[in-house]
């Protein structure tokens, strides 16, 4: 399988990810008990994480999706955030949980949170599977986080490089020669 050969190292195994997702689900269930939970999933990278996470949350919840882009086919954020798909539901007076795959510089998430706060939710928190805090430029509050990730380019479990590798069941470090080819 060519995709496996492109991986330098497995950072988090399928089993480690599932254990962490279940732990996050228990914490969210505890914290949102007796509250109406409205989850916003940021497409596309976090859809695999969301699918597993909601099965670990034992509360009634609603879901909506947004798509924003700041990367394109690169491994570095362009710094320009573009709204690709907006919410279909009104979030006014709702307890919102934004589910992200990875928080890197914080620029994109900061933009998103400002936009969502302007819509009048009762509360807004963030759950991310991966936190690459070493690259943080803007401080963003993370209520729930799975793993701290080093400053490497990771793929798998929904994360991609140029729309590939999302279907890997683990999170791995992509070989640098894959994304430095010209």
User: Which residues carry out catalysis?
Assistant: 104
- Contact at 8 Å (CB) between 178 and 161? yes
> Residues 150, 152, 155, 160: is their CA dihedral positive or negative?
positive
Q: Which residues pair with 103 in a beta bridge?
A: 131
Please enumerate, as own/partner, the contacts of 1-4 that have beta carbons within 8 Å and a separation of 24 or more. 3/164, 3/165, 3/168, 4/168
For residue 154, give both structure tokens: 């990771």
Per-residue buried b or exposed e for 124-147, using 16+ beta carbons within 10 Å of the residue's own CB? bbbbbbbbbbeeeeeebebebbbb
């Amino acid at each position: 399988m060519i995709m496996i050969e492109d991986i330098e190292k497995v950072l988090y195994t399928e089993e480690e990810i599932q254990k962490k997702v279940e732990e996050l689900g228990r914490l969210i269930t505890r914290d949102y008990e007796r509250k109406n939970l409205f989850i916003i999933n940021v497409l596309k990278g976090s859809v695999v994480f969301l699918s597993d996470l909601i099965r670990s949350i034992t509360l009634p919840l609603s879901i909506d999706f947004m798509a924003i882009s700041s990367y394109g086919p690169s491994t570095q954020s362009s710094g320009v955030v573009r709204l690709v798909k907006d919410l279909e539901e009104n979030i006014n007076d709702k307890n919102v949980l934004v589910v992200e795959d990875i928080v890197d510089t914080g620029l994109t998430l900061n933009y998103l949170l400002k936009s969502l706060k302007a819509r009048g939710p009762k509360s807004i928190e963030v759950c991310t599977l991966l936190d690459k805090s070493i690259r943080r430029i803007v401080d963003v509050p993370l209520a729930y986080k799975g793993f701290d990730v080093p400053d490497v380019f990771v793929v798998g479990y929904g994360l991609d490089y140029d729309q590939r590798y999302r279907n890997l069941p683990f999170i791995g470090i992509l070989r640098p020669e894959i994304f430095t080819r010209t």
